[in-house]
Amino acid sequence: MAISRRRLLTMPPKLHAFALPPAGPAVMARATGTGLLPFQPLHWPVMRLELLFLGTGTSAGIPMIGCECEVCTSSDPRDTRTRPSVLIRYPRAAANGEVDTAEAPPAEPAQLLVDTAPELREQVVRHRIRAIDGVLYTHNHADHIFGIDDLRRFNAVMQRPIDLFAEPQIIQWLRETFGYIFEPHRNINKSFIPQLIPQPINPAEPFDLCGGRWTPLRLMHGHLPILGFRVDAAGAALAYCTDVSGIPPETYPHLCDLDVLVIDGLRYRHHPTHLTIDQALEQIDRIAPRRAYLTHMAHDVRHAELEARLPEGVHLAFDGLRVHCDGR
């Protein structure tokens, strides 16, 4: 029975008592022994705003090294969570600014990557992602950044550089941390490195990308200011808010009238830099999206057990989940 969004979920029921809900082969099958869901190649026509969860786990990933808990040893592939990245897709704007329609062969959809998890190569190979129109960064923690080197393969396949969107201080941190990428003239040997074009962005200053409107959202990750993103495209709107523990008052107006909200829901117990499940449900109540998905879950959360208890319209994300954002 679904719980009220305001009912506390401080402690889960005993995990050994859970019953796995019915699921088809596409949900329950393991892929090549990895515990991941079978890949979904991105060959379908895109006529709406879509989001693909590439990774939905914490900084340690699940299963965690050296852990034998019930989630880390779960046979449910939805409990296997790589580090957080998402791919956002929508119809590309034509040269005249109009979005492609079914009256003509559709152009390749716009594909934007948010964050580059350490497992990025595994994630994009699994889904046969061969091209992106840009990468956007929420913040500079390792679990969101350290797959940056794998962007070089997109350069090689597409034969062009990639726009990189981030706050100015994050761009500066990237330059200092990955000098071999941003100052290649200092490299002793000529290297196969990503070719990236930094594009500074700021909170609450929207910009257009390939026919979609992106609004950076100021969020708080403990004491650290970070970004989330609102995307308006193809008559629909979604917001992606990971690694968040608080939402400043000035951000809420940018979260109105959402078809889909993705928000951090780390675990049941308090954490200084992430929302708990209860706190995430309270934010969902306040923002009132049409649908909501929790992401960045720790190994405290067993997918089948919590999914069955969430309110109507609220779900747990999992690696490989593809969400359609229906237009108004």
Confidence of residue 41 (pLDDT cuts 50, 70, 90): low
Number of domains, the chain: 1
Q: State residue 169's pLDDT score.
A: 98
Q: Are 278 and 257 in contact (CB under 8 A)?
A: no
165 domain residue, yes or no: yes
Q: What H or E segment, with its residue span, contains residue 177?
A: helix 168-177
Residue 263 lies in a domain: yes
* pLDDT for residue 37: 53
Q: Give the mean pLDDT of 291-317.
A: 97
pLDDT of residue 107: 74
Domain encompassing residue 212: 26-94+107-325
pLDDT of residue 108: 87
Residue 102 lies in a domain: no
| pLDDT tier, 42 (very low <50, low <70, confident <90, very high otherwise) | low
Kindly state whether residue 4 falls inside one of the protein's structural domains: no
d(CA 246, CA 283): 9
Please give the average per-residue pLDDT across 130-135, as a whole number: 97
CA–CA distance, 74 with 82 (Å, rounded to integer): 14
**What's residue 267's pLDDT?**
97
The share of the chain scoring above pLDDT 90, in percent, equals: 79
Q: What is the mean pLDDT of the chain?
A: 87
Whether residue 20 is contained in a domain is answered as: no
Burial of residue 181 (CB within 10 Å: 0-12, 13-18, 19+) is: buried
Rounded to whole angstroms, the Cα distance separating 100 from 218 reads 32
* Secondary element (H or E) of residue 307: helix 303-307
Cα–Cα nearest to 238, from 229, 227, 249: 229
| Stated pTM of the model | 0.86
Task: Say what the pLDDT of residue 47 is.
Answer: 75
Per-residue pLDDT at 86 exceeds 60: yes
**Segment (H or E) for 196:** strand 196-200
Kindly state whether residue 14 falls inside one of the protein's structural domains: no
The answer to whether residue 47 is domain-embedded is yes
CATH of the domain at 264: 3.60.15.10
User: Quick one: pLDDT at residue 45?
Assistant: 58
Q: CA nearest 152: which of 142, 162, 137? A: 162
Mean pLDDT computed over 187-196: 94
Residue 1 forms part of a structural domain:
no
Element containing residue 260 per DSSP (H, E): strand 260-264
Give the pLDDT confidence score for residue 44 in this predicted structure.
53
Q: Tell me which of 40 and 247 has the higher pLDDT.
A: 247
